[in-house]
Structure 1
Amino acid sequence: MKAALQFAHYHVVETIYKNGLLEPDPDFTDPKFSFKLSLDKDNINHAVVWLSVELGNPSDEHYVKAVIAGFFRFNSEVITEETEIISYYEINAASILFPYLRSLVSDLTSKGESKPVILPTINVHEMMQNSQQADSTDTKTTDE
């Protein structure tokens, strides 16, 4: 049985690693994740998913940013509603890409004398729900 969501490949889009001489700020280990979905306007069954993480502040001596883009295809005769397909991309594609992002950050930060940053394993589904709730809360706040 073929999976509905097929992962074609991914690209490393951007990496930044600043490893200054001073000790990192305690907030340095608090990762900030972001997710972006871009659907092919002519064919919803093709999508690019961007997953990124930032640690620290870009103006600090210790800062890490990594962005990857995954290329996916959706192939299902059972699931045809656009909202369901988008949900598949949001949850499943992010879950597929996260280990690649996690590995990239560990590899990138292993260069030099500092201990590498190992991102924690996360519940991607919960992260996406929290992100969507925060987005809807922000929208409600700005509309009022």
Structure 2
Amino acid sequence: MTVLNFEGYRVTNMSYTQNDNFKKPQENLSFNPKFGVRLVTDDVNKAKVILTFASENELPFNVKVTLEGNFKYNASEDEINFGFEKLLRKNATAILFPYLRAIVSQLTTMGNEYQPLLIPAMNIGALLEKNEENNENSETK
């Protein structure tokens, strides 16, 4: 048995709309997507991890996707006491991220007017940590 069991995911929100105000050329676009993660603990050993992606008003389209993954924690297997919440933040988001990437790519492909949005492979755990640090620093100022 493993410390963290992935029990599947579901898409809770998907949206794609054209951005009629977009004026930039299609080549070499850069954008600042918003990623988010939220943990919902059902009981001591089960939790949902909600992973979100949004890009608005920076591309020829606006896209939002929300996934909800279900995870089970096996405390008896956590020999180094890594902890449930830390496992969820790091490992569960890493498990869900490829699904999010694929859904965003497929969703933006179906618009059939612009090139699909391909989110590069990245360390999503580190990115989310950086976002949290930036949010904490901006709140204390």
Give me the TM-score of the superposition, normalised by structure 2: 0.83
The 1-side partners of 2:8 and 2:77 are apart by 24
The answer (yes or no) to whether the contact 1:11–1:70 under 8 Å persists in 2 is yes
Matches within 5 A, 1:54-73: 54-57=54-57, 62-73=61-72
What residue number does 1:90 align with?
89
**Cα deviation digits, residues 22-81 of structure 1 (max 9, x gap):** 6465877331101111111xx2210001101111239x862000111001101121549x
The answer (yes or no) to whether the contact 1:29–1:56 under 8 Å persists in 2 is no
Q: Are the structure 2 counterparts of residues 125 and 17 from structure 1 closer, same or farther at C-alpha, using a change threshold of 3 Å? A: same
What residue number does 2:124 align with?
124
What residue number does 1:103 align with?
102
The 2-side partners of 1:49 and 1:62 are apart by 26
The answer (yes or no) to whether the contact 2:41–2:47 under 8 Å persists in 1 is yes
What residue number does 2:34 align with?
32
Identity %: 28
What residue number does 2:46 align with?
46
* Aligned-pair CA distance for 1:84: 2.2
Q: Which runs of 5+ in 2 are unaligned?
A: none
**Cα deviation digits, residues 90-137 of structure 1 (max 9, x gap):** 111100000000000000000112111101111122112212212322
- Which AA in structure 1 matches 2:83? E
The count of aligned residue pairs is: 137
What residue number does 2:12 align with?
13
What residue number does 1:113 align with?
113
3-state SS, counterpart of residue 105 of structure 1: helix
3-state SS, counterpart of residue 29 of structure 1: coil
- Which AA in structure 1 matches 2:6? F
Q: Are the structure 2 counterparts of residues 121 and 3 from structure 1 closer, same or farther at C-alpha, using a change threshold of 3 Å? A: same
RMSD, aligned CA: 2.8
The 2-side partners of 1:75 and 1:24 are apart by 51
The answer (yes or no) to whether the contact 2:36–2:128 under 8 Å persists in 1 is no
Q: Are the structure 2 counterparts of residues 96 and 66 from structure 1 closer, same or farther at C-alpha, using a change threshold of 3 Å? A: same
